[in-house]
């Protein structure tokens, strides 16, 4: 069921299956919307309540002047409380992972686990900040469509682009509903985020990190760093996957996640 709820002072577009004792909140990545999860969440059995939201600045949700990861996290927390959800697993894809970590830092008792899909606790490096500033400049020149056409195919492993041509087209078309000001606000928010590696080492929450071995955005070496430095983390690598394993390797990603979650509920 899709509807809107006012959370943290803005309208939030969400979907909620409403039923199930085990709850999961899904947070999409940059340039995506809650619809990115449509095919994936169908795999979950009925005892899982699945909630998805458009992160502030994306899709049909409202936006702050700067969508810091703190603001987005507070919005997600506000949403969960408005739904009377007292415990859930939080899943973040890419930018959604940045938000997920901040949410856990701010309200740890609300979450029972963290699942990071193609996401890290690290801040932007200088070259990434420069790239984001360039994107902001292009968007302000009414070139968001150009960014969509270039960025979205890059989310997939090079060898998967032709295989997922229709899906890439669908994601791109849906992304056209984004408010350019909301997107630039999110870019500024990501640029200003802090390094959360130390915070993650102190969080005892069970954590699962999933990476693709052909990700154009995250070097595979990052997985080794996380595995070595975050004791509570389980790290899995998907073969033949880029930055969207839940699409490129849908069944394998689901298998990893459901096994991780079911172990928590034993």
Domains present along the chain, CATH in parentheses: 2-264 (3.40.50.1820)
Contact of 8 with 82, CB cutoff 8 Å: no
pLDDT of residue 203: 86
| Residues in the chain where the model's pLDDT stays below 50 | none
How high does pLDDT run on average in the chain? 97
| Beta-strand relationship, 111-117 and 2-7 | unpaired
Q: pLDDT tens digits, residue range 191-231?
A: 999 999 999 998 889 999 999 999 999 999 999 999 999 98
Cα(107)–Cα(62) distance, integer angstroms: 22
Contact of 53 with 76, CB cutoff 8 Å: yes
pLDDT of residue 14: 98
pLDDT of residue 265: 86
Cα(2)–Cα(192) distance, integer angstroms: 31
Percent pLDDT > 70 in the chain is 100
Provide the token pair at 77: 């927390």
Q: pLDDT tens digits, residue range 33-49?
A: 999 999 999 999 999 99
Q: pLDDT tens digits, residue range 111-126?
A: 999 999 999 999 999 9
Does the pTM surpass 0.85? The reply is yes
First to last CA, the chain: 29
């Amino acid at each position: 069921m899709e509807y809107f709820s006012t959370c943290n002072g803005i309208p939030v577009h969400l979907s909620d299956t409403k039923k199930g004792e085990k709850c999961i909140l899904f947070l999409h990545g940059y340039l995506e919307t809650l619809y990115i999860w449509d095919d994936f969440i169908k795999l979950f059995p009925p005892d899982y309540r699945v909630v998805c939201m458009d992160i502030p600045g994306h899709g049909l949700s409202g936006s702050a002047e700067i969508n810091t990861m703190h603001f987005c996290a507070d919005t997600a927390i506000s949403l969960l409380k408005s739904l009377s959800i007292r415990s859930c697993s939080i899943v973040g894809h890419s930018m959604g992972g940045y938000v997920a970590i901040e949410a856990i830092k701010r309200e740890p008792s609300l979450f029972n686990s963290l699942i990071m899909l193609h996401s890290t606790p690290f801040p932007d490096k200088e070259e990434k900040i420069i790239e984001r500033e360039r994107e902001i400049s292009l968007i302000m020149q009414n070139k968001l469509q150009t960014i969509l056409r270039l960025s979205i195919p890059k989310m997939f492993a090079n060898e998967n682009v032709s295989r997922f041509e229709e899906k890439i087209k669908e994601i791109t078309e849906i992304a056209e509903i984004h408010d350019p000001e909301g997107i630039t606000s999110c870019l500024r928010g990501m640029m200003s985020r802090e390094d959360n590696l130390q915070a993650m080492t102190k969080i005892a929450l069970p954590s699962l990190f999933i990476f693709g071995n052909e990700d154009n955005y995250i070097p595979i070496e990052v997985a080794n760093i996380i595995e070595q430095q975050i004791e509570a983390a389980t790290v899995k690598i998907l073969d033949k996957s880029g930055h969207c394993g839940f699409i490129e390797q849908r069944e394998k990603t689901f298998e990893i996640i459901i096994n991780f979650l079911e172990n928590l509920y034993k």
